A and B are shown apart, each in its own frame.
Chain A
Amino acid sequence: SYELTQPLSVSVALGQTARITCGGNNIGSKNVHWYQQKPGQAPVLVIYRDSNRPSGIPERFSGSNSGNTATLTISRAQAGDEADYYCQVWDSSTEVFGTGTKVTVL
């Protein structure tokens, strides 16, 4: 089965840039989606199809995807960006989620 690997945690200073990776075999050939989940809340879609932002998502969130790694970038990080982040792809008739990354804003 297809696996998506994310770092367990990422720390970023307030106002700086955080990059969260999602590794998978030839993931660049797939559509990658990203979610933000805060404690006790349902996930929220922040990026779909590699680099598209749903309405209401700040421009500070961006995405890229190439080769074996997709990346979610959070620019000018704010305290409110502290959350768990998950990537997602479709493979072999199943949706697959990444292992999740906890982002801490220092």
Chain B
Amino acid sequence: EVQLLESGGGLVQPGGSLRLSCAASGFTFSSYAMSWVRQAPGKGLEWVSGISGSGGTTYYADSVKGRFTISRDNSKNTLYLQMNSLRAEDTAVYYCAKGAEVATTTGAFDIWGQGTMVTVSS
């Protein structure tokens, strides 16, 4: 069964850091681009960052550029999101999502994790 399981969320003070992880199983992890998508309470979906299957290409939303870093360890089938200089407006459920088509960097997301909540507050 194809599955994504996020972890690492929690409560952090403004200016603090947090590292999210997403453990993948049931598919050839290195063949697919992955992304992080967030959803603030009561709001819509916002794409945060994406990474190619090899990890060699990364993309970021303007709202997180310079503060967040996406990475992946294909030997561990795990996706990461390092979040620094966190702000109140980063408060959201963070989902990891799998690219739907092999060997493409962009496109639809066919598998989503259950999400992990990040709360930035003093």
Contact = CB atoms under 8 A, between A and B. Distances in A.
Interface of A: 1, 31, 33, 35, 37, 42-45, 48-49, 54, 84, 86, 88, 90, 93-100
Nearest to A37: B45
Nearest to B35: A95
Interface of B: 35, 37, 44-47, 50, 59-62, 95, 100, 106-110, 112-115
Main secondary structure of the interface of B (DSSP, over half): strand
Nearest to A100: B44
16 contacts: A33-B109, A37-B45, A42-B112, A45-B110, A48-B110, A84-B44, A88-B45, A94-B47, A94-B59, A95-B59, A96-B47, A97-B37, A97-B44, A97-B45, A99-B44, A100-B44
Contacts of B114: 42
Nearest to A45: B110
A95 B106 CA distance: 8
Nearest to A84: B44
Contact of B108 (A37, A45, A93, A98): A45
A42 B113 contact: yes
Contacts of B60: 94
A42 B95 contact: yes
B109 A45 contact: yes
Contacts of B108: 31, 33, 45, 48-49, 88
B115 A48 contact: no
Given A43-B112, A94-B59, A33 B107 contact: yes
Contacts of B109: 33, 35, 43, 45, 88
Given A43-B45, A43-B112, A97-B45, A31 B100 contact: no
